[in-house]
Amino acid sequence: MLGSRSEADDAVQESWIRLVRSDTGEVENMGGWLTTIVSRVCLDMLRSRKSRREELVTASAPEPVTGQQVGGDPEHEALMADSVGLAMLVVLEKLKPAERIAFVLHDIFALSFSEIALIIGCNEAAARQLASRARRRVKGAGSTSEIAELQRKRELVDAFLAASRNGDFEKLLSVLDPNVVLRNDPAFAPVASVPVVHGSEAVAKQANQFAARARGMKTVLVNGSAGVIAGQVDQPIFILEFTVVDGKITEIDMIADQASLRGLDIAALNN
C-alpha cells in the first residue's frame, strides 16, 4: 500500500500504538479490526505524502527507455516475473490515495466494498467506483514491453552501482555511453566545485572516488524509473537519476537539494 519499507514500519508502529491504547475486549474480529486500523493509517500517510509533494514544483517523471527484449527462455521468464512487482509499484504511485487503498484492499486482499467503504469513509458505491477506476488504470499500464524496458534499465543501474562499489573501472566504461554527462548538485559539498562532468572516463573516475559511499547506496524507484539513493528512502542524502539510450547510460543527474528531494516519488526495491 505504501511502496516503502520505512513508511510501512512507521504504519505498523502507529497501528500498534493505537492497538495498545484501545479497549479491544469487545472486538470480535481482531484481524478485521487491525486491517481497518492499518489501512486508515496508510491512507493518512498517502494523503500527507501527496499534500507535501503538491507544495513543490517537481520534475516530470523520466520515461523508461527502450531496451532489447530477449524472450523464450527460463532466465528471461524469471526476470519478467521478478519485474511485475516493480511495474505494479510504478502504476500504484500514479493512483490517488483512496483509489490505491480501495484497489489493494479489494483486488489483492479480497475485502468487500462494504468493509472498504468504512475504512475510506464513503459509501459502498463510491468504494466500488474507486477500485474500478484504479483497476482500469492498472490494466492500461505495465504492458510486457514496458516491464521489459524498466527491467533493462534497472539492470544497467545495478551494474553501474556494483562496478562503483568494486572500483571496477572497465565495467563502468562498459555501461556508460562514451559521451555520457554527469550533472552534480552544488548542494552536495564533495562535488560542488565540479558541476558537470563529460565523457565516460571522467564519469567513471568520479564514480570510483566514491567507492566507499557506493557500498551503502541502493537501487530505488525514482519517479517511476530506476535510480540510486545515498541514505534512506525517508532521509536521502542524494539521488542519482539515469537516462539510458540504446543500452548505455547517457546522462546521470544528481539531486541533493532537500527541497527537490522531498518532491520526488522514491520507493524502495529489493536489492
Contact at 8 Å (CB) between 256 and 188?
yes
pLDDT digits (tens, 9 = 90+) for 155-206: 899 999 999 988 889 999 999 999 999 998 888 877 767 889 999 999 998 8
Q: What is the largest CA-CA distance in the chain?
A: 68
Which pairing describes strands 176-183 and 196-198: parallel, antiparallel, or unpaired? antiparallel
By the 10 Å C-beta count (0-12 exposed, 13-18 middle, 19+ buried), 228 is classed as: buried
Task: Name the amino acid, one letter, at 256.
Answer: A
pLDDT digits (tens, 9 = 90+) for 85-125: 566 676 777 788 899 999 889 888 888 999 999 999 888 88
pLDDT digits (tens, 9 = 90+) for 203-258: 998 888 777 788 888 888 887 678 899 888 878 889 998 988 888 999 999 988 88
Cα four-point dihedral sign 152, 157, 158, 159: positive
Q: In terms of residues, how long is the chain?
A: 271
Model pLDDT, residue 179: 94
Going from the N-terminus, what domains does the chain have, and what CATH number goes with each?
Answer: 1-50+95-140 (no CATH), 144-268 (3.10.450.50)
Model pLDDT, residue 79: 47
Model pLDDT, residue 28: 85
Average per-residue pLDDT in the chain?
79
65 vs 209, more confident: 209
Model pLDDT, residue 246: 87
The Cα 203–Cα 206 span in angstroms is 5
Specify the DSSP class assigned to residue 111: -
Which of 17-21, 55-59, 231-235 shows the lowest mean pLDDT across its residues? 55-59
pLDDT digits (tens, 9 = 90+) for 3-12: 777 788 899 9
